[in-house]
């Protein structure tokens, strides 16, 4: 049981690395605790609320009680299955804004600016969104990206309302111009969820030099300051899988820091509390935890045109049957088919609010609104100031990590969130929505003051399931950094981390795309090569300093 590269985690980044490293002729072993991704609950896009709530596919993590959200414990699903969270997520594809990556580079992640990451986004994409006129998109990569049919009239009305409110419309928020209203993109191909497993891992496993090992990673084995393998448990037995070249952790922003700490890499005092010998004192391990919080702004519909008409056993059965036999129909879409990215106020140079629009009023756990026909926009601030941490609850590798997001601990986060709610109301008051809006279900028009809106946020804000940042990438002399810009763990030889945990700051939008890009780029770092930087100029609102729109 040995290979050149041992990768822990068959998720978004791990699958991409396995594909690129094995393509380059290296031998690769991928360790994954979860099982198969076969079956309609994962592969059918419209069934997305099921796998996320099933212990078979999800690690089942929860935050500790969050003091600024009334002591609520928020669920934090992470994929425990082939494909990782890309097999249980909402399939929304967002690269992030150019400004995100330039901020990474400025904060010490040299070589990760927009010009550096754009070639990797292009390499990974097989885009089916239309004319690639400005050359910002990739058209022959492994990851298929499509758009929904947008046949429900509510999708066009939402975009039109944004335009009437004075916001730009964008043809492609993943291209030159993120800011504005337009079509949402998804990792769906031929009616099926196009996870990292389908795009990368399954083709890689067809090669003789790539294999998958089922087991629970317990710790990284370090000898003389160098990572030489990974200790795993499978079938009740503990064994070591040896890495001839390097070990790469791609186990998620919750499990990668946990594994580092179990291996003796992390804040020395915290490791000592759990009786773990210190290999490298890295105070940043598990710190800098970030996420996106959102609320569902829900409206009752005047017209019975929403997906609610299928929200019954017969309706769901018909959708499921059509999908099973033809991979078409409503089952072939995640239903998030319209989107928007806007700025909350003047003086912010690129969007800090994201919208997912959905033509039904329903929660992520599959509970429909009591009012019947309705629709909703998921909205929340993209760059919260609050920071949390992932720490060890126990030295037992089977124990869940202790996850404390510390949501809404900064006053600015409340100011930004209130702005989201008020700007959203204004959009839904436009003429384009008049034929459809009956009344506001949630928060409800009665809630107007800062205190009333804060109460709603405290009670109803949910995670968008985008945890990241816990093994921050930065300069080798930055005490808060865990990996350097080559993804190498500072202070240990032969060990890298490559997943959303290395993000210095959370990106603008959903994290699946940036996580896959991280795996693509990290593979090149491992192979000692890089794609030439791009010189495409992204769009920033020319009046951003003085105007909000």
Tell me the per-residue pLDDT of 369-419, one tens digit each, with 9 for 90 and over: 778 999 999 999 999 999 999 999 999 999 999 999 999 999 999 999 999
What proportion of the chain, given as a percentage, has pLDDT over 90?
96
**Does residue 508 have a known ligand-binding role?**
no
Q: Indicate the pLDDT class of residue 364, thresholds 50, 70 and 90.
A: low
The residue-averaged pLDDT of 515-543 equals: 97
Average pLDDT, the chain: 97
Model pLDDT for residues 447-484, shown as the tens digit of each residue: 999 999 999 999 999 999 999 999 999 999 999 999 99
Q: Indicate the pLDDT class of residue 154, thresholds 50, 70 and 90.
A: very high
Cα→Cα distances 462→41, 74, 176, 504, Å: 23, 7, 30, 23
Burial of 164 per CB tally in 10 Å (0-12, 13-18, 19+): middle
**Does residue 90 have a known ligand-binding role?**
yes
> Count of H helices and E strands in the chain?
13, 25
Closest CA to 14 of 414, 447, 537, 487: 487
DSSP string, 401-447: PEEE--TT-SHHHHHHHHHHHHHHHHHHTSGGGTTTEEEEEETTTT-
Which residues are annotated as catalytic? 466
Closest CA to 521 of 549, 492, 487: 487
Model pLDDT for residues 242-285, shown as the tens digit of each residue: 999 999 999 999 999 999 999 999 999 999 999 999 999 999 99
- Given a contact cutoff of 8 angstroms between Cβ atoms, the answer to whether 341 and 179 are in contact is yes
The pTM of this model reads 0.98
The pLDDT score that the predictor gives to residue 371 is 84
Q: Which domains does the chain have, with CATH numbers?
A: 149-183+293-383+409-460 (3.30.410.40)
The pLDDT score that the predictor gives to residue 267 is 98
Closest CA to 247 of 238, 258, 236, 259: 259
pLDDT at residue 295 greater than cutoff 70: yes
What proportion of the chain, given as a percentage, has pLDDT over 70?
99
The pLDDT score that the predictor gives to residue 542 is 97
The pLDDT score that the predictor gives to residue 385 is 98
pLDDT at residue 545 greater than cutoff 70: yes
Spatial separation of the C-alpha atoms in residues 378 and 15, rounded to whole Å: 29
Classify residue 280 as left (phi > 0), alpha (psi -120 to 50) or beta: beta
The pLDDT score that the predictor gives to residue 282 is 97
Closest CA to 169 of 341, 424, 359, 352: 341
The residue-averaged pLDDT of 490-516 equals: 98
Spatial separation of the C-alpha atoms in residues 362 and 472, rounded to whole Å: 35
Phi, psi of 127 (to 5 degrees): -90, 135
Neighbours of 529 (CB within 10 A): 9
Q: Indicate the pLDDT class of residue 428, thresholds 50, 70 and 90.
A: very high
- H helices of 201-244, in order, are 202-205
The residue-averaged pLDDT of 17-24 equals: 98
The pLDDT score that the predictor gives to residue 513 is 98
- Given a contact cutoff of 8 angstroms between Cβ atoms, the answer to whether 390 and 171 are in contact is no
Q: Indicate the pLDDT class of residue 540, thresholds 50, 70 and 90.
A: very high
Spatial separation of the C-alpha atoms in residues 116 and 105, rounded to whole Å: 9
Classify residue 136 as left (phi > 0), alpha (psi -120 to 50) or beta: alpha
CB half-sphere exposure, 361, CA atoms < 13 A: 21
pLDDT at residue 188 greater than cutoff 90: yes
The residue-averaged pLDDT of 17-21 equals: 98
**Does residue 284 have a known ligand-binding role?**
no
E-state strands within 41-116: 61-62, 75-76
**Does residue 92 have a known ligand-binding role?**
yes
């Amino acid at each position: 049981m040995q290979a050149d590269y041992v990768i822990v985690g068959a998720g978004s980044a791990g699958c991409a690395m396995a594909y690129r490293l094995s393509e380059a002729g290296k031998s690769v072993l991928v360790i994954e605790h979860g099982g198969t991704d076969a079956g309609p609950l994962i592969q059918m896009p419209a069934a997305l609320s099921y796998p996320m709530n099933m212990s078979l596919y999800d690690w089942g993590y929860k935050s500790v009680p969050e003091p600024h959200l009334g002591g609520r414990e928020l669920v934090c699903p992470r994929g425990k299955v082939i494909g990782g969270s890309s097999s249980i997520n909402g399939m929304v594809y967002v690269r992030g804004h150019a400004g995100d990556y330039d901020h990474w580079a400025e904060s010490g992640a040299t070589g990760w600016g927009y010009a550096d990451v754009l070639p990797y986004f292009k390499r990974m994409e097989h885009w089916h969104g239309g004319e690639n006129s400005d050359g910002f998109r990739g058209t022959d990569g492994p990851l298929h990206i499509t758009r929904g049919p947008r046949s429900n009239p509510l999708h066009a009305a939402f975009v039109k309302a944004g335009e009437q409110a004075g916001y730009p419309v964008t043809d492609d928020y993943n291209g030159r111009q993120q800011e504005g209203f337009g079509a949402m993109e998804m990792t769906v191909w031929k009616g099926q969820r196009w996870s990292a497993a389908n795009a990368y891992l399954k083709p890689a496993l067809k090669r003789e030099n790539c294999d998958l090992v089922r087991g629970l990673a317990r710790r990284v084995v370090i000898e003389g300051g160098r990572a030489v393998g990974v200790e795993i448990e499978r079938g009740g037995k503990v064994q070591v899988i040896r890495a001839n070249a390097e070990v790469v952790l791609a186990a998620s922003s919750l499990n990668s820091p946990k594994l580092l700490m179990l291996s003796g890499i992390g804040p020395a005092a915290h490791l000592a509390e759990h009786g773990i010998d210190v290999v490298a004192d890295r105070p940043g391990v598990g710190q800098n935890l970030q996420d996106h919080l959102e609320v569902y702004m829900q409206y009752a519909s005047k017209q019975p045109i929403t997906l609610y008409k299928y929200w019954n056993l017969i309706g769901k059965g018909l959708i499921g049957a059509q999908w099973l036999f033809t991979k078409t129909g409503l089952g072939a879409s995640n239903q998030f088919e319209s989107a928007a990215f806007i700025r909350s106020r003047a003086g912010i140079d690129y969007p800090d609010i994201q919208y997912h629009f959905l033509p039904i009023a329903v929660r992520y756990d599959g509970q429909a609104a009591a009012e019947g026909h309705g629709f909703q926009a998921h909205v929340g601030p993209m760059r919260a100031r609050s920071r949390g941490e992932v720490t060890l609850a126990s030295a037992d590798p089977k124990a869940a990590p202790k996850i404390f997001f510390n949501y809404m601990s900064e006053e600015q986060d409340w100011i930004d969130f209130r702005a989201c709610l008020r700007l959203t109301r204004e959009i839904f008051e436009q003429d384009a929505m008049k034929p459809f809006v009956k009344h506001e279900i949630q928060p409800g028009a009665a809630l107007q003051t800062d205190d009333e809106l804060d109460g709603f946020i405290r009670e109803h804000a949910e995670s968008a399931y985008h945890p990241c940042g816990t093994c921050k990438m930065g300069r080798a002399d930055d005490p808060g950094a865990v990996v350097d810009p080559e993804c190498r763990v500072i202070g240990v030889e032969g060990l890298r981390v490559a997943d959303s945990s290395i993000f210095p700051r959370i990106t603008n939008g959903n994290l699946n795309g940036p996580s896959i890009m991280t795996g693509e780029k990290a593979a090149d770092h491992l192979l000692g090569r890089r794609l030439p930087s791009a010189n495409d100029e992204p769009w920033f609102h020319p009046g951003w300093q003085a105007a909000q729109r």
